[in-house]
């Protein structure tokens, strides 16, 4: 039997899987139904305890098949570890991430790779016609978003300001060159915001090079999981909602002379909102030593972020009121907010 070989612009799709028995078939079937067929699917089973492991194994393809489906089983070590495992096995020139509870339209991969193929064809034709294309623009990241309106390649720092800090902080709905991801790994000590931190690292690595391209959103279908970290009751790990943005600031500080002050103001505003989200979670549970420590962290985060010029001004009127009450009296805010949520 002749073994199929991946062609140019081969894509590796990495899907971390943990107890996703109910939604995994929809996700995988949407991937296998892609109009663009030059890809491999890497399912990383993160120690699932339901039927997900068996489902994953059922999708495995014979050696040499294209599209190929591979399954890697690991102990339960979190989504960052699972994605990192996927990266270690990825063979594609391009990499994309999909969450197991999401799904994609049939044209998802085709829409992501089309700008790359169009540029490659344009360069090939230009060379054939004798044009000088010694230093063509290299695209490292394509993001599928409506937050960035530019149709031409943008810099990493522009992507940071207008994308990552403007609601495009998720790792999915993007295509990454294997080269740009070569030394990139998700930080597995974070349970929230780990994908945003990786994007910040990518933006810094790209810097002032115009190698990020934005295309219209629409082909990635995000499922708002009611059991996800953002929607669950407060637990100590929820403090990562604060830690991840602190990590982002730490990463960016060495480059303060290279990037706009607006970025740091935006970042501080986001830190304030994130801290208040944590405060809102605390207000809805009985207080103990864990929540006492978290309240201190929220207050410290607010005091730090509010020192940044323009951060408080960037808040909505509602958030300005919330922050003012909390900074005046955390106990009063928690009581008021907790009562409001209970009666809502």
Tell me the mean pLDDT in the region 45-74.
95
pLDDT above 80 (res 61): yes
Give the per-residue pLDDT at 136: 67
Per-residue pLDDT tens digits for 180-236: 999 999 999 999 999 999 999 999 999 999 999 999 999 999 987 665 555 567 899
Cis peptide before 67 (omega within 30 of 0): yes
Phi-psi category of residue 222: left, alpha or beta, with phi > 0 → left and psi -120 to 50 → alpha:
beta
**Six token digits for residue 27:** 């996700």
Residue 9, both tokens:
């612009």
Domain final residue pick, 176, 191, 221:
221
- In this structure, the answer to whether residues 179 and 303 fall within a common structural domain is no
Does one domain contain both 169 and 21?
Answer: yes
- Residue 2 confidence (pLDDT): 39
Q: Is residue 131 part of a domain?
A: yes
Give the span between the Cα atoms of 299 and 110, in whole angstroms.
46
- The verdict on 319 and 198 lying in the same domain is no
Based on the fold, state whether residues 81 and 144 are members of the same structural domain. Answer: yes
Tokens of 341: 């949520």
- Do the domain assignments include residue 248? yes
CB burial of residue 239 (10 Å; 0-12, 13-18, 19+): buried
Q: Do 177 and 202 touch, CB atoms closer than 8 A?
A: no
Beta strands in the chain (DSSP E): 11-17, 39-46, 68-74, 94-97, 103-104, 141-144, 154-155, 174-177, 210-215, 220-221
Q: What is the pLDDT of residues 122-173, one digit of tens each?
A: 888 877 777 776 666 789 999 999 999 888 999 999 999 999 999 999 999 9
Model confidence pLDDT, tens digit, residues 8-49: 999 999 999 999 999 999 999 999 999 999 999 999 999 999
Residue that finishes a domain, picked among 192, 221, 250? 221
266 in the same domain as 132: no
Show the domain range for 75: 11-221
Number of structural domains (the chain) is 2
Q: Following CA atoms 290, 235, 173, 206 in sequence, which dihedral angle do they give, to the nearest 10 degrees?
A: 10
pLDDT in tens, 298-337: 999 999 999 999 999 999 999 999 999 999 999 999 999 9
57-80 residues labelled b (16+ CB within 10 A) or e (exposed): eebeeeeeeebbbbbbeeeeebbb
- Asked, for residue 228, whether it belongs to a domain, the answer is no
230 within domain boundaries: no
What whole-number distance in Å separates Cα of residue 76 and Cα of residue 197? 21
* CATH (domain of 77): 3.90.550.10
Q: Which of 197, 186, 221 is nearest to 44 (CA)?
A: 186
Q: Side-chain half-sphere of 318: how many Cα atoms within 13 Å?
A: 4
Tell whether 101 and 135 lie within a shared domain: yes
87-115 per-position pLDDT tens digit = 999 999 999 999 999 999 999 999 999 99
Q: Is the pLDDT of residue 1 over 60?
A: no
Cα separation, 18 vs 53, in Å, equals: 9
In a domain, 229, yes or no: no
Query: Hey, which residues does 220 pair with through a beta bridge?
Result: 104
Model confidence at 58: pLDDT above 80? yes
Res 121: pLDDT: 87
* CB contact at 8 A, 119 and 92: no
In a domain, 165, yes or no: yes
Tokens 């801290």 appear where? 275
């Amino acid at each position: 039997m002749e073994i199929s070989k991946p062609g140019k612009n081969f894509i590796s799709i990495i899907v971390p899987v943990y107890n996703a028995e109910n939604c995994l078939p929809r996700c995988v079937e949407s991937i296998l139904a892609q109009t663009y067929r030059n890809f491999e699917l890497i399912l990383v089973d993160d120690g699932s305890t339901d039927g997900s492991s068996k489902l994953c194994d059922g999708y495995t393809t014979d050696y040499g098949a294209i599209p190929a489906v591979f399954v890697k089983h690991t102990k339960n070590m979190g989504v960052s570890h699972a994605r990192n495992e996927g990266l270690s096995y990825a063979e594609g020139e391009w990499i994309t991430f999909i969450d197991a509870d999401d799904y994609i339209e049939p044209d998802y991969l085709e829409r992501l790779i089309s700008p790359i193929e169009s540029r490659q064809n344009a360069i090939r034709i230009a060379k054939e016609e004798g044009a000088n294309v010694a230093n063509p623009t290299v695209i490292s990241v394509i993001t599928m978003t409506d937050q960035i309106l530019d149709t031409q390649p943008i810099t990493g720092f522009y992507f940071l300001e207008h994308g990552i800090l403007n609601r495009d902080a998720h790792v999915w709905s993007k295509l990454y060159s294997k080269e740009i991801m070569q030394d990139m790994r998700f930080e597995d000590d974070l349970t929230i915001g780990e994908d945003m931190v990786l994007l910040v690292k990518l933006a810094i690595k790209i810097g002032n090079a115009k190698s990020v391209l934005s295309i219209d959103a629409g082909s990635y279908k995000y499922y708002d999981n009611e059991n996800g970290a953002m929607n669950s009751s407060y637990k100590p790990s929820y403090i990562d909602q604060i830690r991840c943005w602190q990590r982002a600031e730490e990463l960016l500080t060495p480059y303060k002379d290279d990037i706009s002050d607006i970025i740091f103001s935006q970042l501080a505003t986001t830190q304030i909102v994130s801290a208040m989200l944590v405060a809102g979670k605390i207000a809805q549970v009985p207080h103990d030593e864990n929540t006492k420590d978290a309240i201190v962290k929220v207050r410290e985060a607010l005091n730090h972020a509010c020192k940044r010029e323009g951060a408080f001004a960037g808040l909505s009127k509602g958030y300005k009121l919330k922050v003012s009450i909390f900074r005046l009296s955390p106990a009063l805010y928690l009581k008021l907010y907790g009562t409001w949520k209970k009666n809502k």
